[in-house]
Amino acid sequence: MVSTEFALRIKPLDDNMVALLFLDMTLQRNLENVRRDFVANVSHELRSPLTSLSGFIETMINGDVTDDAMKLRFLKIMDEESKRMTRLIDDLLSLSRVEVYEHIIPENEVSLLATINAVRDTLVGKAEARNMQIIVRDNRLDKAKPARILGSYDELTEVFVNLVENAVKYGFEGSHIVIELTEPMPGQLQIDVINQGEGIAKQHLSRITERFYRVDKARSRQIGGTGLGLAIVKHILNRHRGSMDVASVPGESTIFTVTLPLI
């Protein structure tokens, strides 16, 4: 059942007239709930590495760790926890930046093929560490035509770094990732990021671009995820008048499909 809540306000117009305003409070309350959940999530996500860090620091200050190998192990965990906090803060800053500027369309000419090749070069090391390959396929009918769109190079890079990094993180070890460019209709560029992996069950598909939504929280954390990547991607694509779809066959494969308007 959809329930709507109204508030009545009296607004003086001049000495003799007042306006009765019915304000729809439902939206206001929903926004308030979203904001409260977000703050609670951020606090929780920052508190857990901090708790772990302070626990290890205290143990070391107390002189309870005498063995050098153990000391090194503790320091490595502390290093990982502080990197986790840095990643989270970087993602929060990215998210707030793209949210603030969402209505402004960036106006540089960006070659999508060059952007995607650069993303592949950046992530090739991470893929190789999992014995994976990243293959870029330009399947447009006219390959000589430049795949240019109006946008921000840095933000579009962020979109494909997030998608390809996820494909590496959640893909099967030793599998291939394919990034395929097509032009499904004149003036539209489609980029599919395809990976073989555990995939995403149907009930999660509509929620994965929500901030902090993760199918398997423990697993995502363990492999360095913040749960903010796809939320950032969604905002950047909105700003570029683009869209994103996801399709997945659990236990087999996942395809993230990005569509952007060509110049």
Residues that bind ligand ADP (CB under 6 A): 162, 166-167, 170, 195, 197, 199-200, 208, 214-216, 220, 225-230, 254
| Collapsed DSSP state (helix, strand, coil) of residue 79 | helix
Minimum distance, C-beta of residue 80 to ligand ADP, in the bound complex (Å): 15
- Residue 134: is it exposed, middle or buried by C-beta count within 10 angstroms (0-12/13-18/19+)? buried
d(CA 166, CA 196): 11
In the bound state with ligand ADP, the residue whose beta carbon lies nearer, of 140 and 200, is 200
Return the number of the residue (197 or 242) whose C-beta is nearest ligand ADP. Answer: 197
Compute how many other C-beta atoms are within 10 angstroms of the C-beta atom of residue 64: 9
CA atoms within 13 A on the CB side of 24: 6
Nearer to ligand ADP, 152 or 166 (CB): 166
Q: How far is the CB of 64 from ligand ADP (least distance, A)?
A: 34
Query: Closest CB to ligand ADP among 199 and 242?
Result: 199
Q: Cβ 41 to ligand ADP, closest distance in Å? A: 12
Element (H, E) at 137: strand 133-138
Q: How far is it, in rounded angstroms, from Cα 149 to Cα 164?
A: 20
CB of 226 to ligand ADP, least distance (A): 5
In the bound complex, what is the minimum distance in angstroms from residue 161's beta carbon to ligand ADP?
10
Look up tokens 């097509």; give the residue: 182
Toward ligand ADP, which CB reaches closer, 94 or 254? 254
